[in-house]
Amino acid sequence: MRNFIIAAASGALLLISSQGIAADIEAGKKKAAEVCAACHGPDGNSPAPAFPKLAGQHASYLEKSLNEYKSGTRKDPIMAGMAAALSKEDIENLSAYFASQSGLKTRY
Ligand code: HEC
């Protein structure tokens, strides 16, 4: 039983670290500056409430949202156009980049 727990734990760690290697945060940062910053802010702290903050959100959630805009499961005319132009790698890198930024507290 003990061995099983150790094996399961190291398997989970491997999974986490391989995800870390797969995504390229620097590439995500560059892409974000070129494409996303106008609406979501350079670090994902959007300047206007109409654009959701991406900074500090979970990478898996950002990735899921972008894939859903791309497939049409989640509908938004603006983001559908944005996501259509992104590759699988772009989505992983952008998600890792915005997740790595700290979300600023707002006083709403
Ligand atoms: C022209 C403005 C604009 C640009 C440029 C833009 N977005 Fe968006 N984005 C929006 C709007 C508006 C929404 C809210 C859509 C909705 O209600 O689903 C949104 C929503 C999102 C969401 C969902 C957030 C959440 O909390 O559910 C993600 C993720 C996202 N954008 C990522 C990106 C990325 C990555 C880029 C660059 C490739 C980008 N956006 C470029 C306007 C923009």
Question: Which domains can be identified in the chain, with CATH numbers?
Answer: 24-100 (1.10.760.10)
Predicted confidence (pLDDT) per residue in 5-53, tens digit: 777 776 666 655 555 457 999 999 999 999 999 999 999 999 999 999 9
- Residue minimizing CA distance to atom 25 of ligand 1: 52
- Ligand 1 centroid to Cα of residue 52, in Å, is 7
The b/e string for 23-52 (b: 16+ C-beta within 10 A; e otherwise) is bbbebbbebbeeebbebbbebbbbeeeebe
- Residue minimizing CA distance to atom 1 of ligand 1: 39
State how far the Cα of 101 lies from the Cα of 10, in Å rounded to an integer.
Answer: 27
Give the nearest ligand 1 atom to 86 CA.
Answer: 38
Task: Quote the pTM value.
Answer: 0.84
- Residue minimizing CA distance to atom 15 of ligand 1: 76
State how far the Cα of 42 lies from the Cα of 45, in Å rounded to an integer.
Answer: 7
